[in-house]
Amino acid sequence: MIKIITDFKQELSELKKKRELSLGGEIAANVRKIVEDVRLNGDEALFKYTKEFDGVDINTSNIEVTESEIQQAYLEIDNKTFQSLRLAIKNIFSYQNNLMKKVLKNAYLNRRGMMIRAIEHAGIYVPGGKAAYPSSVLMCAIPAVAAGVRQIVMVTPAKKLNPLTLVAACECGVDRIFKVGGAQSIAALAYGTETISKVDVIAGPGNIYVTLAKKEVYGSVGIDMLAGPSEILIIADKSARADYIACDMLSQAEHDERAASYLLTDSMELAKKVQKELDERLKDLDRESIACTSIENNGRIFVVESILTAIMISNEIAPEHLELLLDSPRQYLPFVSNAGAVFIGENSPEPLGDYLAGPDHVLPTSGTARFFSPLSAETFVKKISLINYSKKQLRKVKDDIINLSNSEGLQAHGNSIKIRFEEDK
């Protein structure tokens, strides 16, 4: 049964320590070894680790998904699901294309500005461990397409090739798909092997091995973020429905035993109703064992004195998903400063964002919403500074530049300015 907490300070401190992304220790050392092996030995190491961890024999002849495999995947999905996929693609493209228009519109401002250029090659990681995630294909590939990336390479564990995952990749513009996952696939994308070309940016969620591998290769390649287990935080007042809250908490708990679900409310009555609803609804889930472990170990209900106190705590937690199930949710938005995504009102549940609304579901976790942003088309572009002064404009500031360069003892910097005005003498 989930705990109801009234004295939140000590409990909150312990939970924050528990959910901090651990990026060291024995796992990190193992990941470093795998990454270095793939960097030095390419396909040989890639195939070796895929056999060791996934129990799948891959080689140069079968590592890449073929056209016939994709065609077969289309035959295996039903039409209703396919149409739902198409709608999700439409909505996500609409959101990301509009986002890029705004980025480009503000790119150049008179004599100073930015030049926006897409990266050439993007790598996307699609998990395939505890479940299949075709939705993650859309959320990673579509922003890259909207940004104008020339080639998109996808990697996904070979053990489970979900037909809808392959169809999703084809529908939204992935160029090549490789049957490999884990830390070894991240290393292959970062450094390149005989079969997988090196990319410029790697995006997509994964387990701790994938996350640590992304951390290890960062610098040789760009990454979207360092993601941990999924999490949801719901702020609710007495107007909220307990059954809605319980279902929304369980929507995250079923992801992983380490997923976290929090409710913050100013109503003890609501807290008790939610506690009861969770116990009853857990029994009906196909993934009951996973969700139950998640709720018991990482789920909490905090009863606080006010909604503003709840928001203060939420900002401290910086959750991946924040739901505002309040009588007047929009009035509290100005007070929200840390969250991956905010779901406003009872008709905007978190799964809406997971699949269809448009904004990306690859979001910062484990408190990293304090400094990371959601994955978007901007993840796949570079901003190149532009400076374009006329001689008249340069003349106005030349003495200031010379003064500043002299203060740093950089004479040649000053000479670079002076020589342009020697003829004036």
Spatial contact of 249 and 261, defined as CB atoms under 8 Å apart:
yes
Identify the active-site residue in 121, 255, 321, 361.
Answer: 321
Please compute Rg for the chain using Cα positions: 25
Per the CB < 8 A criterion, the answer to whether 122 and 144 are in contact is: yes
Query: In terms of DSSP bridges, do strands 341-344 and 321-325 run parallel, antiparallel, or are they unpaired?
Result: parallel
Q: Give CA angle at 288 (73, 230), nearest 5°.
A: 70
Residue 220, token pair as written in the block: 């040789």
DSSP annotation of 63: S
Where do runs of H (alpha helix) occur along 5-149? 8-19, 25-41, 43-54, 67-76, 79-105, 134-147
255 part of the active site? no
Q: How far is CA 297 from CA 21, 27, 260, in A?
A: 16, 22, 8
The partner residues of 299 in beta bridges, in order of sequence, read: 261
Closest CA to 142 of 204, 66, 205: 204
User: Could you give the C-alpha distances from 257 to 261, 284, 292, 317, in angstroms and in order?
Assistant: 11, 17, 8, 19
Helices (H), 78-162: 79-105, 134-147
Full DSSP string of 223-253: ES----S-EEEEEE-TTS-HHHHHHHHHHHH
b/e 54-63 (16+ beta carbons within 10 angstroms → b): bebebeeeeb
d(CA 165, CA 160): 10
Q: At which residue do the structure tokens 């005989």 appear?
A: 194
* 321 among known catalytic residues: yes
- What 3-state class would DSSP assign to 344? strand
Q: Which of 254, 320, 323, 378 is catalytic?
A: 320
Residues with catalytic roles: 320-321
